[in-house]
Chain A
Amino acid sequence: MEKNNLLFEIGLEDLPARNLNIFSEKIKKNIEKNLSKNKITFDSINNFYTNIRLVFVVNNIPKKIILEKKLIKGPPLNICFDKKVPTKTGLGFAKKHNVDIKKLSTKEIDGNKYLFFEQPEITINTKDKLSEVLENSISNIEDQKEMRWGDSNTSFIRPIRWLLLLLGDENIHLKIMGIETQEYTFGNKSLPNKKIKINDVDDYFSKIKNEEVEISQNKRKEIIKNEIEAIIESNFYDKTIDLQLVDELANMTEYPYVFLGKFPEKFLDLPQEVLKYVIQDTQKYSLVFKKKKIINYFIGISNVKINKNIIQGNERVINPRLDDAQFFISKDLDSNIFQNKEFLKRVIFHKKLGSMFEKVQRITKISSYINNESYQDEKLLHKDIAELCKLDLISNMVVEIPKLQGYIGSYYALKSGINNIVAEGIKDHYAPRNPEDSIPKSIDAQIVSIADKLDTIVGMFLANEKPSGTRDPLGIRRSTNGLLKILLNTNQSINMTLLVNKVYDIISLNFNDLKKNKKGLDDCHIYFKEKLISLLIENYNFKDNVVLSVINNNKNINPYEILKKIEAINTILADDDYQKMFNNAKRVANILKKSDLAPTRVVNENLLRESSEKILYNKITEIEEELNSSLVDNNYIEYLKKLNSLSACTKIFFEDVMINDKDENIKLNRLSLLYLINSYYTNLANVANLAY
């Protein structure tokens, strides 16, 4: 059968550069799905994109599809006709296959008669299905904000300007979302706007090359990366390239030309974060570093061959932006933001939780509590950090560019001679700012970071602002992830359950309304627990049952200890020897669950009859102290090892001893022995849940 390649090009006004790959993949998946749904076979689909086109090539698609004739079994005959009159069931089957019920045949299978439809051979012209396949593929794209343009009802990510559709060397004319497909494309926007006729799929790829278009996103990335590397090498700059930026730049062009630009050296005094914000985030230039410091050059991308005009133009843009930053910073330094703590009263944190001034007071209290309970650091620098960390919110620079909060405060702190650790802490108390970011370096900043985040999260739950669905406008989810990252990595044992209650107490002091919201507090506890569980399963890749065996077994959530316990269990999980212990634990738990007596930890030695129960009892009393001390020392592997040494005696116990003795006292005593053992099986984690 004759097969061809199908080419579908959507010409658009400029697409958003971010996540263009995801968008293109979604359409590709939709095309695959819709082709399959229409029984059209194909080998594979290639997708390409630039800032103004989305291209899909479906490889080896047949011009015609023949569906062989086949028999389709229907319902039993006796329910299809009632005294020769067709029933609803019979008519329904006929209707489903679009045929008169009289034309259906009957066949006997195992003595029962059934209604049958003989479906004839069907030929489908691929061409006839394309309109439906492509329209469905581009009109239903998940999670995609759409827009309208002109006078039509069509909506898409950006206005569609042309559609090119070819099947082999045949131009297919049809309407997709009300737009007619054509046999031509357009070149790079920097060239005169003219139609380019395309004869077949190969013709498309060769012609588009001559139109200043590199259709392959990967090749455009290569070009940008190679050229940046060449500039770096020839100038001996640091070999740092932001690949995420390269991706975005590749999505902003049809053919990328790379150039090196310069800005006045005087701006290098600005904080690195300000330079990064202006040069990289807003202007989309690649920063240039020497010895890990930004230098006064930048690398830019043009969609047009580089000339002097383009470089000068780009150079001219940076100056006023940096000038403005310098203006704000010198104004701020003149006024010394650290002297005006009262100014924070004018900055609202949240309408139900008061001003930033009040937030700072709470952060200070929470920090002290955390330090007393866990870190017990004597320098008390966290106090200074807590008091100063929000003051840059009233600075001109942060009011202008809120994203720079913390960085600016830190910079101003160093300029005004504040202690280095405190200055770093002002910046770091926001850390981790994103999933890739690390936790604050100093313990002082860690304390304040935990306090700040908890105040926000608990406060928002009390103010009934908990996150719902995918929306997280107040950044609660982000704060929680950051908070847990610190708690899991700080090497400090912090009882989060008690801490959350303390934060609740501190907030309640000033907000009586919120104090009444006990449900909000409960929800917050549950939220933390759920988040911790999903973090350990998804980010740390621990098994569900391992995580739950530890977390559900602890009344209080102590993330650091929980992590260490899980890690200890993980080291023994694959060991068959331990599997036996888990099974023993399961058996013990089952017996205790079924018993109708009330055993305790107290075993009466005199009631022990069989030697194997005596041995088991002796063993547990022998190791009890070691078990308890290894738990206190957080030596969890040792604990598990010791616990495992019970396995042999437990096994013999089960072989030799009948729990259900006629004598109730003996029975209860045996159950108490198991109860005692079980208390150790469930102390670190409920190890019964670890059995296969």
Chain B
Amino acid sequence: MTFQEIIFKLKTFWASKGCVSLEPYDFPVGAATFHPSTFLRALGPEPWRAVYAQPCRRPTDGRYGENPNRLQHYFQLQAVLKPSPDDIQDLYIQSLEYIGVQRKNNDIKFIDDNWESPSLGAAGVGWEVWLNGMEISQFTYFQQVGGFDCKPVTGELTYGLERIAMHLQSIDNLYEIQWNEDISYGEIYLQNEQENSKYNFELVEPKILIKLFDDMEKECVNLLENNLPIPAYDILLQNSHSLNLLDSKQAISSTERQAYILRLRKLSFLIAQKYLENREKINFPLMKHK
């Protein structure tokens, strides 16, 4: 099964379970959780189901295209279900069967792994899903987002698409993944990995990013004062990415990093609060789909 087919099929599967099929977010994110369809929609009482593929950037994971298992730019497929249905775990296993991973002859384990994002003020309880020993998904019940208790609770399923494709195509090098029948993953993304690794590790200019972070933080506060949490959130995403770049360039110490995370966290709390207020003002319009 090709990489693109896996995406099609997983999206089809979850669409058939009532998820709206969305597109990736257009700001850099470290994980699909940062897509507003997860972070913002997990807040408040409104029901929500969505599925989307999301390219993610983790600058420190770059290996100049030389490691067959690590990437600084990769893909997650995300399904969020709010409230999490009682059969969510079985639905997840069904989704694997839908792409050809049968439960009767594959060892699928759910390994205890709670999740926490200090910069988003978010925490959840959940698992790593292991397919024959390989971590292929993260499965999380959100307990808190932006400092607010989640009620109802969102169930988040995040598929590591490259790993699943490697399993299905029985290969050891992710660059050999067949994107479709003709073109490989490496043909599309190898150069991207090489160039971006060089940028992330060597050419990031800390001064620019630190100034950008400070300026954008001001912008974000201004937007919040004007009661615009959605664009404010976009800025939070940009700053989060700047911080990851500073990290990959090893431009900041661990204490400095901690201080930056606290600044992001403060903003995410405010964004969550404003977003909730704005939704409440319009009477939580999605409640009618309950």
Contact = CB atoms under 8 A, between A and B. Distances in A.
Interface of A: 13-18, 51, 147-151, 158-159, 161, 189-191, 193, 252, 283-284, 300, 302-305, 307, 309-310, 312-314, 316-317, 319-320, 323-324, 327, 346-348, 351
A150 B86 CA distance: 7
- 9 smallest beta-carbon distances between A and B, as pairs: A313-B132, A320-B69, A314-B133, A14-B110, A16-B112, A151-B83, A302-B107, A147-B125, A151-B152
Contacts of B167: 313
B155 interface: yes
A346 B167 CA distance: 41
A204 B162 CA distance: 42
15 contacts: A14-B112, A51-B110, A148-B151, A151-B83, A151-B151, A193-B87, A193-B93, A303-B109, A304-B105, A304-B106, A309-B105, A312-B170, A317-B134, A320-B69, A347-B254
Contact of A319 (B87, B89, B127, B172): B172
B85 to A, nearest CB: 7
Interface in B112-133: 112, 125, 127, 131-133
A190 B103 contact: yes
Given A283-B133, A320-B70, 7 more contacts: A151-B83, A190-B108, A191-B103, A313-B107, A316-B166, A323-B69, A324-B70
A348 B127 contact: no
Contact of B83 (A150, A190, A312): A150
A147 B143 contact: yes
A323 B67 contact: yes
B153 A310 contact: no
Contacts of A300: 133
B104 A304 contact: yes
B111 interface: yes
B286 to A, nearest CB: 14
Nearest to A191: B104
B36 interface: no
Contacts of B108: 189-190, 303-304
A348 B153 contact: no
B77 to A, nearest CB: 20
A348 B86 CA distance: 46
A591 to B, nearest CB: 62
B49 to A, nearest CB: 13
A283 to B, nearest CB: 6
Interface of B: 63, 67-70, 83-87, 89-90, 93, 103-112, 125, 127, 131-134, 141, 143, 150-153, 155, 166-167, 170, 172, 253-255
A54 to B, nearest CB: 15
A327 B134 CA distance: 20
B125 A317 contact: no
A309 B67 contact: no
Nearest to B66: A327
Contacts, number: 118
Contacts of A312: 132, 170
Nearest to A158: B125
B254 A17 contact: no
B132 A310 contact: yes
A351 B112 contact: no
A4 B122 CA distance: 48
Contacts of B253: 346-348
B153 A313 contact: no
B211 to A, nearest CB: 22
Contacts of B105: 304-305, 307, 309-310
B67 A324 contact: yes
B111 A252 contact: yes
Contacts of B106: 304, 309-310, 313
Contacts of A351: 255
Given A13-B89, A14-B110, A190-B104, A348 B172 contact: no
B141 A316 contact: no
B66 to A, nearest CB: 8
Contacts of A284: 111
B86 to A, nearest CB: 7
Nearest to B68: A320
A642 to B, nearest CB: 59
B127 A150 contact: no
Contacts of B125: 147, 158
A181 to B, nearest CB: 15
A354 to B, nearest CB: 11
Given A189-B93, A313-B132, A303 B107 contact: yes
Contacts of B87: 193
Nearest to B172: A316
A190 B93 CA distance: 9
B158 to A, nearest CB: 16
A314 B132 CA distance: 5
Contacts of B68: 320, 323
Contacts of A190: 103-104, 107-108
Contacts of A149: 84, 141, 153, 155
A144 B268 CA distance: 29
B134 A313 contact: yes
Nearest to B90: A193
A150 B172 contact: no
B119 to A, nearest CB: 20
Contacts of A13: 89, 110, 127
Contacts of B155: 149
A159 B103 contact: no
A284 B63 CA distance: 26
A189 B87 CA distance: 12
Contacts of A193: 87, 90, 93
A151 B150 CA distance: 10
B112 A161 contact: no
A252 B150 CA distance: 28
A190 B170 CA distance: 22
Given A304-B107, A317-B133, A161 B69 contact: no
Contacts of B110: 13-14, 51
Contacts of B172: 316, 319-320
Contacts of A309: 105-106, 132
A148 B153 contact: yes
Contacts of A18: 112
A324 B108 CA distance: 25
